[in-house]
């Protein structure tokens, strides 16, 4: 049965070269899952960091905390996949920015996206952000991660929904879709019905969510080594070969 492996980039797949090279070698063997990336970076930034680490494999990219979907073309460029994200009534980044103007400690990042508004903000701003958006009649997904990064996304759009959409597009059951991450913005995809992995050295806030993630394995090894550990724990990888 076809399988899908979805990995966050910074702090998860990327961070240590020996284990990264090993997992990339294994992913070239028969029976390997389809590899996809899910990252908070937007596509140009994600492409840059993948090239920096020498990662030229990987068929799909879910960028911008799940607000963008791409497929890798034969020459290595990324082409945008139609159909994601779905249109959302009353979603407008200008309306979001206006609703959150003047919130203390909230500093907007100058990123260009139709589907995401990003801020630098401490966790204590979350209640105010939620209240402002509710008062403005804006349904949104709010993701706080990395200690001080806050993303406001359309309702029903995040890494979890993006992975589910990609798996359905590829005809891969969610039970055969493994997700791997290390921060709170990965939680939505780690909560999907398939096996998932939190790599070693993950954000304490995410680790505190483990009781809510019954199918999630907390690896001891960091970065790609933790992904390898999780693949073996789930029975996808036996020794140096992929299980049928």
Condensed to tens digits (0 to 9), the pLDDT of residues 81-111 reads 999 998 887 788 999 999 999 999 999 988 7
Q: Residue 231 is encoded by which pair of tokens?
A: 């693949």
- Residue 214 clears pLDDT 70, i.e. is over it: yes
- Angstrom CA distances, 9 to 40, 62, 79, 168, 185, stand at 9, 11, 19, 22, 12
- Angstrom CA distances, 142 to 6, 181, 210, stand at 21, 18, 20
Reported as a pLDDT band with limits 50, 70 and 90, residue 75 is: confident
Which domains can be identified in the chain, with CATH numbers? Answer: 4-85+157-242 (3.40.50.1000), 93-154 (3.90.1070.10)
Condensed to tens digits (0 to 9), the pLDDT of residues 25-71 reads 999 999 999 999 999 999 999 999 999 999 998 999 999 999 999 99
Sign for the CA dihedral angle at 234, 240, 58, 110 comes to: positive
DSSP state of 211: G
pTM of the model: 0.94
Reported as a pLDDT band with limits 50, 70 and 90, residue 112 is: low
């Amino acid at each position: 049965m076809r399988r899908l492996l979805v990995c966050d980039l910074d702090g998860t797949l990327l961070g240590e070269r020996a284990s990264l090279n090993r997992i990339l070698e294994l992913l070239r063997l028969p029976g390997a899952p389809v590899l996809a990336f899910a990252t908070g970076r937007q596509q140009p930034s994600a492409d840059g960091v993948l090239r920096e680490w020498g990662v030229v494999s990987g068929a799909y990219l879910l960028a911008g905390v799940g607000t963008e979907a791409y497929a890798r073309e034969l020459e290595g460029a990324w082409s945008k996949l139609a159909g994601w994200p779905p249109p959302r009534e009353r979603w407008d980044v200008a309306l979001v920015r206006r609703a959150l103007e003047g919130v203390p400690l909230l500093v907007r990042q100058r990123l260009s996206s139709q589907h995401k508004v990003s801020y630098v903000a401490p966790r204590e701003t979350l209640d105010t952000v939620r209240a402002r958006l509710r008062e403005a009649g804006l349904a949104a997904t709010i993701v706080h991660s990395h200690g001080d990064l806050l993303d406001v996304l359309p309702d029903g759009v995040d890494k979890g929904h993006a992975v589910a959409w990609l798996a359905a597009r590829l005809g891969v059951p969610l039970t055969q879709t493994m997700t791997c991450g290390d921060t709170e913005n990965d939680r939505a995809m780690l909560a999907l019905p398939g096996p998932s992995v939190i790599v070693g050295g993950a954000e304490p806030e995410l680790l505190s969510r483990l009781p809510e993630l019954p199918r999630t394995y907390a690896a001891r090894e960091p970065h790609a080594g933790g992904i390898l550990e999780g693949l073996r724990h789930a029975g996808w990888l036996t020794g140096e070969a992929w299980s049928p």
